[in-house]
Amino acid sequence: MQIKLFSFNPFQVNTYLLINEYRECILIDAGCLDSYECTKLSSYIKENKLSLKRVLNTHLHLDHIFGNKFVFEEYGIKPEAHKADEFLINRFPLMAKNFGINSNTTIEIGNYLNDNDTITLGNIKLTVLHTPGHSPGGVSFYADDDHCLFSGDSLFLGSVGRTDLEGGDFATLKSSIVNKLFSLPKNTLVFPGHGPKTSIDFEKNNNPYLR
């Protein structure tokens, strides 16, 4: 599995493209907002002769779903996400307006993701881990064979996701991280929804929010 990272939109969301041995790919959190960013994504897919197969969302906060409409229109693929975040889709137009962002529609969930689901595409093998707390339907994607975790906005380098938004809860987030993510092998690399990558071992030993 190859990982291509894009950083998109004013919130600097990490959008990950996972590529398998057949040049098929899975997109995690389509954050592309304006036409420049959307073209950057589609050009990369085209120039590298990739075939996009699935679009996964770690959660449905607006910064992680800006590109879902573009991706649906371009590739005919609807996003997959946890049902508990579905209410956030209705919040999208107002949230975007509040942030002064000119984007007022997004795409409904095409397939619900559940805890322990497995997603396989060639040599890409992901396990869905329901990691609520930042949002009720937050999920992380764990790639056992590649020793990596896509943690969305649950766990960051030296930090954790905010829990003051609707449906957020710190005790729930802490439990998701400590009980689920910290039980993964300690050499697991963590690719978060914002900022640089880290590892389970580093966060276990250094994250000040989880003492």
Q: Which of 80, 85, 153, 203 binds Zn ion (CB under 5 A)?
A: 153
The region of 71-79, 123-131, 147-155, 172-180 touching Zn ion under the rule CB under 5 A is: 147-155
Is residue 38 helix, strand or coil? Answer: helix
Give the C-alpha separation, 169 to 72, whole Å: 31
Give the C-alpha separation, 76 to 85, whole Å: 22
Nearest residue to Zn ion on Cβ basis: 61
CB nearer to Zn ion: give 37 or 63. 63
CB nearer to Zn ion: give 185 or 196. 196
CB of 167 to Zn ion, least distance (A): 11
CB of 19 to Zn ion, least distance (A): 23
CB nearer to Zn ion: give 54 or 61. 61
Instruction: State which H helix or E strand residue 8 sits in.
Output: strand 2-8
Contact 85, 62 (CB under 8 A): no
Is residue 126 helix, strand or coil? Answer: strand
Residues 25-84 that bind Zn ion (CB under 5 A): 61, 63
CB of 53 to Zn ion, least distance (A): 24
Output phi, psi for 127, to 5 deg: -110, 135
Position 110: which residue type? Answer: G
Residues of the shown chain interacting with Zn ion in the complex, contacts defined by CB under 5 A = 61, 63, 153, 193
